[in-house]
Amino acid sequence: MKQKRAWKGCLWAFVAAVTAVASACTTDAPEGPKKDASAPETAAPRPSQPEGWDRDIALASAKDENDADDVVEVSLRASITNVSLGDGTTLPLWTYNGLVPGPVVRARQGQTLRVHLENALPEATTIHHHGVRVPNAMDGTEMVQTAVPPGGTFTYSFSLPDEGTYWYHPHVHSSAQVGYGLYGPLVVDAKEPDGLPESLPIVLSDLSVDEQGKLADGAADGAFGDFFGREGKYVLTNGKVMPRVIMRKGLAQRWRIVNASRARYFALAFPELVVHRLGGDGGRMSAPEPIRSYLLVPGERLDLFVVATGNPGTETSVMRQSYDRFGTESGSGGTPLFRVAVSDDAPVPAESPPAKLATIETLSVEGKTPRMIELSEVPKGNPTAFGIDGKTGADIGVFHAKAGTRERWIVENATNMDHPFHLHGFFFQVLAMNGVPRTTREWKDTVNLRPHDRVEFIADFDRRPGMWMFHCHILDHTDHGMMAMLHVE
Ligand code: C2O
Ligand code: CU
């Protein structure tokens, strides 16, 4: 990976020399650059990022233990480990390989991913690879496997049919386990070179700490915590408080952002940055979309093409604006989330993303009656519980869908609070939100519904039968009944 970057840097230096534009070539370039057989002869060279640009912010990568070209094999050991948040705070967190977030698992579309989970935690756990079209038995829910007991192991193995930004997390007692630190990014690069910069995975999350400065109990605040969803006091970017990325003015970076928090919404804003959204959950959209802000909800991902506009030597921050999940207007003010420094390197002409990103099939389900789903408040307990179609947890019957079919769904939020709706195992295309058609086509697995929103989408139930599920991704809601089973047969 590193060599490839250096090689690209050198190519640019060569081109730059020819065109008499000053540029530096890194010295650790391999002599005979190994050419990726699939790389087109005309791959546009790109100057290298500033020296040490991602040193402060980048996550460690999981080691690929398999030499075969078509397999990526990694080990994830879940254990409680003391972790520093970079601001002097050290907490005993629940980690994968001693890290929060867990290491970046990176693979290419079409490869097989094998993940060896070892459970050194005091309770049972599993891994759900959120968004990946896995075979049902690999979904990591307790519907399809027995949770891995303390001291136990389990190997997840599946192929990666789609490029995109995914993430992994437990699907047992998930509000607590994710809340304590168990999550990590899974990046699946496109099979063919996409001409975009190599991506920087960025995981946003938060952690709860009690008055004594200890990791807060997952059930703190009782029924009110279950109702509101627990937001942690430490807001983290790649496990740190306010880390820094360095950019060169004009030169694009690609950020793959994951919201891995158990309940917190991130209303992101990007001052002094020109940002195009390339896609999100299930890979690239058909065309890039310029954005100034974006509401990234729990479970959802964002794939961005980012260019700094500030002059060399200046600094800006990606901001999170206030957002309240009860339908009241928000978006004012802002708190810095992570820092963006503009290096002293000479600016390059501002890059822009390709006009066309991907070909996305238009799905049609003409004439079919849509399936109606209601996200409901269920008058049970105080405050009320959340559920689906007026019921909660085990009271919700099993839904049935036919493998190999496409269905139109209309999901309506009948509550006074936002809920991020997530469907396991299959992608959908959002057709309309509150009757307003979506113009950009893309594959999603998580979509937010504000109070009384009504979203219409087409789900593509390809032939992977089994017991799947859909739920609200505020994990306090998931664990308290806002979750249903979907039998695809
Ligand atoms: Cu992120 Cu049921 O999953
Ligand atoms: Cu919810």
- Structure-token match 């080990």, residue found: 75
Does residue 471 have its Cβ closer than 6 Å to ligand 1? Answer: yes
Answer yes or no: is pLDDT of 463 > 80. yes
Residue 178 sits at the vertex; the CA angle it makes with 176 and 181, to the nearest 5 degrees, is: 110
Residue type, 474: I
H or E element that contains 16: helix 2-18
Task: Please name which ligand lies nearest the alpha carbon of 178.
Answer: 1
Atom of ligand 1 nearest to the CA of 471: 2
Residue type, 307: V
Q: How far is the CA of 354 from the centre of ligand 1 (A)?
A: 32
Each residue's pLDDT tens digit, 284-309: 999 999 999 999 999 999 999 999 99
Does residue 284 have its Cβ closer than 6 Å to ligand 1? Answer: no
Calpha distance 310→320 (Å, rounded): 19
Residue 440's pLDDT band, with cuts at 50, 70 and 90, is confident
Each residue's pLDDT tens digit, 98-118: 999 999 999 999 999 999 999
- pLDDT, residue 336, reads 97
Each residue's pLDDT tens digit, 372-407: 999 999 988 888 899 999 999 999 999 999 999 999
Residue 33's pLDDT band, with cuts at 50, 70 and 90, is very low
Atom of ligand 1 nearest to the CA of 478: 2
Q: How far is the CA of 452 from the centre of ligand 2 (A)?
A: 13
Eight-class DSSP state of 13: H
Residue 363's pLDDT band, with cuts at 50, 70 and 90, is confident
- Better pLDDT: 2 or 437: 437
Answer yes or no: is pLDDT of 42 > 80. no
Q: How far is the CA of 181 from the centre of ligand 1 (A)?
A: 15
Q: How far is the CA of 177 from the centre of ligand 2 (A)?
A: 17
Q: How far is the CA of 241 from the centre of ligand 1 (A)?
A: 25
Q: Whose CA is nearest to atom 3 of ligand 1?
A: 130
Answer yes or no: is pLDDT of 60 > 80. yes
Atom of ligand 1 nearest to the CA of 299: 1
Task: Please name which ligand lies nearest the alpha carbon of 474.
Answer: 2
The mean pLDDT of 14-19, rounded to a whole number, is 36
3-state secondary structure of 18: helix
Does residue 477 have its Cβ closer than 6 Å to ligand 1? Answer: no
Residue type, 260: A
The mean pLDDT of 424-446, rounded to a whole number, is 95
Range in 27-31, 162-166, 323-327 the model is least confident about = 27-31
The mean pLDDT of 84-103, rounded to a whole number, is 94
Q: Whose CA is nearest to atom 1 of ligand 1?
A: 130
Q: Is the dihedral of CA 53, 100, 306, 253 positive or negative?
A: positive
Residue 43's pLDDT band, with cuts at 50, 70 and 90, is low
Atom of ligand 1 nearest to the CA of 169: 1
Answer yes or no: is pLDDT of 201 > 70. yes
Q: What percent of the chain has pLDDT over 70?
A: 90
Does residue 422 have its Cβ closer than 6 Å to ligand 1? Answer: yes
Please give the torsion angle defined by the CA atoms of residues 233, 238, 240 and 244, in that order, rounded to the nearest 10 degrees: -130
Token pair in block for residue 134: 């896995």
The mean pLDDT of 352-361, rounded to a whole number, is 94
Residue 4's pLDDT band, with cuts at 50, 70 and 90, is very low
Q: How far is the CA of 94 from the centre of ligand 1 (A)?
A: 18
Q: How far is the CA of 253 from the centre of ligand 2 (A)?
A: 33
The mean pLDDT of 181-193, rounded to a whole number, is 96
Spatial contact of 450 and 415, defined as CB atoms under 8 Å apart: no
Q: Which residues contact 111 (CB under 8 A, 6 or more apart)?
A: 70, 71, 72, 159, 160
Q: How far is the CA of 400 from the centre of ligand 1 (A)?
A: 19
Answer yes or no: is pLDDT of 15 > 50. no
Q: In whole numbers, what is the pLDDT of the chain averaged over residues?
A: 90
The mean pLDDT of 329-335, rounded to a whole number, is 74
Does residue 130 have its Cβ closer than 6 Å to ligand 1? Answer: yes
Each residue's pLDDT tens digit, 402-425: 999 999 999 999 999 999 999 999
- pLDDT, residue 321, reads 94
Does residue 249 have its Cβ closer than 6 Å to ligand 1? Answer: no
* DSSP-assigned states of every residue in 194-247: -SSPPEEEEEEEEE-B-TTSSBPPTTTTHHHHHHH-PPPSEEEETTBSS-EEEE
**Gyration radius of the chain's alpha carbons:** 22
H or E element that contains 6: helix 2-18
Predicted structure pTM score:
0.90
Does residue 171 have its Cβ closer than 6 Å to ligand 1? Answer: yes
Atom of ligand 1 nearest to the CA of 130: 1
- pLDDT, residue 26, reads 35
- pLDDT, residue 44, reads 59
Answer yes or no: is pLDDT of 468 > 80. yes
Answer yes or no: is pLDDT of 141 > 50. yes
The mean pLDDT of 470-488, rounded to a whole number, is 96
